[in-house]
Structure 1
Amino acid sequence: MDGETATREDERLQFGARVVAPENAAPEVHRPQTMRALPPPVPTSSLTPLARLGPALRRSFYSELEHGTAFVFVPVFIALGALFYFSAPAEPGLGGLLLATGLLAALSLALANRPGLRMASLAVLITLTGVLAAKFETWRASTQMLGSEISTRLTGRVVRIEQQASGRIRLTLDVIATERPVLRYAPDRVRATARAVPETLRPGDAVQGLVRLMPASGPVRPQSYDFAFNSYFDGIGAVGFFLRNPELVETADKPGLMTAAAAWVEGWRTRMAQDIAASIGGPEGAIAAALITGIRAGIPEEMNEALRVVGLYHVISISGLHMALVAGTVMFGLRTAFALAPGFSSRWPAKKYAAFGALTATAAYLVISGAGIAAQRSFTMLAVMLLAVMVDRAALTMRNLAISAVIILLIAPHEVMGPSFHMSFAATAALVAAYAAWASYRERRTPRRQAAKYGPVRLAFTTGMKYVSGLSLTSVVAGLATALFTAWHFQQVSPLGLVANLAAMPFVSAVVMPAAVLACLLMPFGLEGPALYAMGMGISAMNSIAVWLAERSAFDATGAIPLSAVLMLTAALAILTMAGSALRWAALPLLIAGAFLIATRQLPHVFVSEDARLVAVDRGNGRLAVNRARPSAFTIQNWQRAAQAGELVWPIEGDAGLPPHAALSDDESELPFRCGEGLCIARHGGGGIVVHADGERTASTACSYASLIVIDDATANNPCRDSSVAVITKRDLARRGSAEIVFENDIIRETRGTGASPGTGASDLDRTSARPALYPNIRFAIREPYRHWHAHRQYSREARGLPPWQKSQGE
Structure 2
Amino acid sequence: MPRWTALELWAERERTQLALWMPVAWGLGIALWFVLPDPRGWAALICVAGGVGLAAFTLSGGGRVTRAIGMAALLVGGGAALAWARAESVAAPVLARPVLATMTGAVEGVDRLAARGLMRLMLRPLEASVGRGRAIMLPPHVRVSLPIEDVPGGLGRGAIIRLRARLMPPAGPIARGGHDFARAAWFQGIGATGRGFAPVEVLRPSSRGEGLRQRLSSHIFARIEGSAGGIAAALATGDVGGIGEADAEAMRRAGLAHLLSVSGLHITAVVGIVMVLTIRLLALWPWLALRVRLPLVGALAGAVAAIGYTALTGAEVPTIRSCVAAMLVLAALALGREAMTLRLVAAGAFIVLLFRPEALMGASFQLSFAAITAIVALHEHPAMRRWFGPHPDWRWSAARQLGALLVTGLVVEAALMPIAIYHFHKAGLYGAFANIVAIPWTTFVAMPLEMLALLLDPVGLGAPFWWLLGHALGALLWLARQVAAMPGAVMALPVAPNGAFAVTILGGLWVALWRTRWRWLGVPGVAIGVIAMLAAPLPDLIVTGDGRHAAIRTGGGMALLRERAGDYVRNALSEIGGSDDAPLALVDQAEARCGADICLTRIMRDGRVWRVAATRSGYALPWASLIALCDRVDIMIADRRLPEACRPRWLKLDALALRRSGGVTIQLSGPVAETARMPGDRHPWIVASEARGR
**Scaled by the length of structure 2, what TM-score is found?**
0.91
Q: How does 1:660-671 map to 2 (within 5 A)?
A: 671=590
> Is 2:62 the partner of 1:87?
no
Contact between 1:153 and 1:209, CA under 8 Å: does it hold in 2? yes
Tell me if 1:712 matches 2:639.
Answer: yes
Q: Secondary structure at the match of 2:473?
A: helix
Note the 1:215-614 alignment, pairs <5 A: 215-250=169-204, 267-438=211-382, 441-442=385-386, 459=394, 465-522=399-456, 527-554=461-488, 555-598=490-533, 600-614=535-549
In 2, the alpha carbon distance for the partners of 1:313 and 1:569 equals 23
Task: Give the secondary structure class of the aligned counterpart of 1:630.
Answer: coil
What is the CA–CA distance in structure 2 between the aligned matches of 1:153 and 1:739, rounded to whole Å? 35
In 2, Cα distance between equivalents of 1:732 and 1:298: 41
Matching residue of 2:575: 641
Structure 1 residues 363-372 or 90-99, which shifts more? 90-99
SS of 2:565's equivalent? coil
Name the counterpart of 1:135.
Answer: 84
Structure 2 counterpart of 1:75, from 3, 23, 29: 23
Residue 734 (structure 1) aligned with residue 659 (structure 2):
yes
Between the aligned partners of 2:503 and 2:474, the Cα distance in structure 1 is 41
Determine if contact 2:110/2:122 at 8 Å carries over to the other structure: yes
Structure of higher CA gyration radius:
1
C-alpha displacement of 1:691: 1.4
- In the other structure, the counterpart of 1:615 is 550
In the superposition, relative to structure 1, how do residues 58 and 604 fare at CA in structure 2: closer, same or farther (>3 Å)?
farther
Rounded Cα–Cα distance in structure 1 between residues aligned with 2:109 and 2:302: 28
Cα distance change of structure 1 residues 467 and 103 upon mapping to structure 2, 3 Å threshold: closer
1:174 is aligned, of 84, 108, 124, to 124
d(CA) in 2 for partners of 1:444, 1:272: 41
Deviation at 1:361, TM superposition (A): 0.7
**d(CA) in 2 for partners of 1:359 and 1:780?**
43
Q: Secondary structure at the match of 2:211?
A: helix
| Shift, 1:205, TM fit | 1.0
Alignment partners' CA distance in 1, 2:266 and 2:244: 21
Q: Which moved more, 1:206-215 or 1:97-106?
A: 97-106
Aligned to 2:73, which of 104, 124, 132? 124
Confirm or deny: 8 A CA contact 1:625 1:673 kept in the other structure.
Answer: no
Instruction: State the distance in 1 between where 2:178 and 2:596 align.
Output: 33
Deviation digits for residues 226-260 of structure 1 (CA, Å, limit 9, x no counterpart):
00000111111110111333211139xxx9xxxx9
Question: 1:155 — aligned with what?
Answer: 104
Return the offset for 1:413. Answer: 0.2
Distance 1:194 1:776, change over 3 A: same
- Summarize the Cα distance change of 1:276–1:229 in structure 2 as closer, same or farther, 3 Å threshold: same
Q: 1:182: how far off?
A: 6.0
Listed one character per residue, the Cα deviations across residues 30-81 of structure 1 (whole Å, up to 9, x for unaligned) are xxxxxx9794xxxxxxxxxxxxxx83x553332001xx21110000011011
Query: Aligned partners of 1:245, 1:782: CA distance in 2, in Å?
Result: 43
Native 8 Å contact 2:560 2:586 kept in 1:
no
- Residue 305 of structure 1 deviates from its aligned partner by 0.4
Asked if 1:701 is matched to 2:628, the reply is yes
- Summarize the Cα distance change of 1:608–1:443 in structure 2 as closer, same or farther, 3 Å threshold: closer
How far apart are residue 106 of structure 1 and its match? 4.8
Quick one: distance in 2 between partners of 1:101 and 1:776? 34
Higher relative contact order (CA 8 A, sep 6+): 2
CA distance in 1, matches of 2:44, 2:379: 43
Task: Write the distance in 2 (CA, Å) between the matches of 1:441 and 1:290.
Answer: 35
Amino acid at match of 1:62: E
Offset of residue 522 of structure 1: 4.0
In the alignment, the residues of structure 2 paired with residue 228 and residue 593 of structure 1 have an alpha-carbon distance, to the nearest angstrom, of 32
Q: Would the aligned equivalents of 1:158 and 1:207 in 2 still touch at CA under 8 Å?
A: yes
Larger helix fraction of residues = 2
The one-letter code matched in structure 2 to 1:495 is L
1:688 lines up with 2:602 in the alignment: no
Q: Quick one: distance in 1 between partners of 2:325 and 2:273? A: 17
Cα distance in 1 for residues equivalent to 2:478 and 2:203: 45
Query: What SS is found at the alignment partner of 2:190?
Result: coil
Query: Is the 8 Å Cα contact of residues 355 and 390 (structure 1) preserved in structure 2?
Result: yes
- Separation of aligned partners in 1, 2:236 and 2:3: 52
Question: Unmatched 5+ residue regions in structure 1?
Answer: 1-35, 40-53, 452-458, 656-669, 746-774, 801-811
User: How far apart in 2 are the matches of 1:154 and 1:444?
Assistant: 63
Partner of 2:428, secondary structure, is coil
Compared CA separation, residues 224 and 721, structure 1 to 2 (3 A): closer
Aligned partner of 2:675 among 763, 779, 782: 779
Determine helix, strand or coil for the equivalent of 2:14: helix
Which one-letter code corresponds to 1:675 in the other structure? C
Kindly provide the amino acid, as one letter, of the partner of residue 706 in structure 1.
V
Q: Is 2:109 aligned against 1:187?
A: no
- Name the residue aligned to 1:678: 597
With over 3 angstroms needed to count, the CA separation of the structure-2 counterparts of 1:652 and 1:123, relative to structure 1, is: closer
Note the C-alpha offset of 1:439: 6.9
Contact 1:717 1:729 in 2 (8 A): no
- SS at the partner of 1:505? helix
How many Å separate the matches in 2 of 1:443 and 1:495? 26
Distance 1:346 1:553 in 2: 59
Structure 1's 794 and 534: CA in aligned 2 closer, same or farther, altered over 3 A? same
Gaps of 5+ in 2: none
Cα 1:489/1:440, change in 2 over 3 Å: closer
Distance in 2 (alpha carbons) for counterparts of 1:94 and 1:561: 25
Q: Aligned partner of 1:720: which letter? A: C
Q: Which moved more, 1:320-329 or 1:679-688?
A: 679-688
| Cα pair 1:626 1:648 within 8 Å, conserved | no
Q: For residues 676-700 of structure 1, give each alpha carbon's deviation from its aligned partner in whole angstroms, at most 9, with x where no partner exists.
A: 1521122334132221125554433
Superposition deviation, residue 496 in structure 1: 1.6
- In 2, Cα distance between equivalents of 1:557 and 1:99: 42
Contact kept, 8 Å, 1:490 with 1:638, in 2: the verdict is no
Quote the RMSD (CA, aligned, Å): 2.9
SS in structure 1 opposite 2:92? coil
